[in-house]
Amino acid sequence: MKLKQLLDVQLIAIAIIWLFHVSGIIGILYGNSQWFVAATPINLSLCFFLLLLVSWKTPGFVKIAVMSFIVGMFAEILGVNFGYIFGSYQYGEALGWKFFGVPLLIGANWTILTVCSAAIAAQVYDRLIPRIIIGLGLMLLLDFMIEPIAPILDFWEFEGGIAPSQNYIGWFLVALPLQFLYHYWKVELKHWFAHHLFLLQLLFFMILLLQINTLQNLL
């Protein structure tokens, strides 16, 4: 009975994130763009909550979730306030409450990206090094997709308007130990929620990137 209930929770969680992401894409491109962009903190908070809900009993998950949040926030605070690690950039207002200039949801997003990319990598390879490489590649791929869209959505903007190579090097350096710790702590997610969440984020920003000219005219 408990297994059935767990599966039901996972299926409901997956259905919810599909609904929100598809609605977001349609709403931003063809509906009330400003309203749907303003709802970004709600969507990201919901994704974070649902990931915690379906994963918190997994051994090692809480440790990697907390570590990713803290490390991500610390790195971003250094970046925003001193220009270290990622380059010189500032966050806009779209992502909600900030701590030392960094939205708290960015810490949540570091947790989401670390866990989801590592979970996918764990399904592909058994060996540690290939898992880490795949996880890093997935995180960098998503960041590459988001960077051109971020200033338009008022997420963040780099000095000069374009993310420098330092940003991607910084992502690699910050994400590397997090990817290692995920597998070192033997986190094994027994669900597909993380896979769906990463896929949806990738599709969401890929579609917006393909429609970037339309997006610029709408916002």
Model pLDDT for residues 4-52, shown as the tens digit of each residue: 555 688 999 999 999 999 999 999 988 888 899 889 999 999 999 999 9
- For the CA atoms of 106, 62, 197, 25, the dihedral, rounded to the nearest 10 degrees, stands at -30
**What mean pLDDT comes out for the span 88-108?**
96
Locate all alpha helices (DSSP H) within 61-211, ordered by sequence. Answer: 61-82, 104-124, 128-146, 165-184, 193-210
pLDDT tens string 99-143: 999 999 999 999 999 999 999 999 999 999 999 999 999 999 999
Give the amino acid at 210: L
Tell me the pTM: 0.93
**What mean pLDDT comes out for the span 171-183?**
97
Task: Provide CB contacts within 8 A for 55, sequence distance 6+.
Answer: 61, 65, 115, 189, 191, 193, 194
Please state which of the ranges 32-41, 58-67, 84-93, 98-107 shows the lowest mean pLDDT.
32-41
Distance CA 121, CA 194 (A): 11
Locate all alpha helices (DSSP H) within 31-60, ordered by sequence. Answer: 33-38, 40-55
**What mean pLDDT comes out for the span 89-106?**
96
Q: Is 60 exceeded by the pLDDT of residue 78?
A: yes
Q: Please, are residues 101 and 90 in contact by the beta-carbon 8 Å criterion?
A: yes
Q: Which two tokens stand for residue 52?
A: 């915690």
Of 85, 49, 81, the closest CA to residue 65 belongs to 49
CA angle 50, 19, 21 (to 5 degrees): 80
Task: Provide CB contacts within 8 A for 106, sequence distance 6+.
Answer: 72, 73, 76, 91, 95
Other C-beta atoms within 10 Å of 185: how many?
A: 14
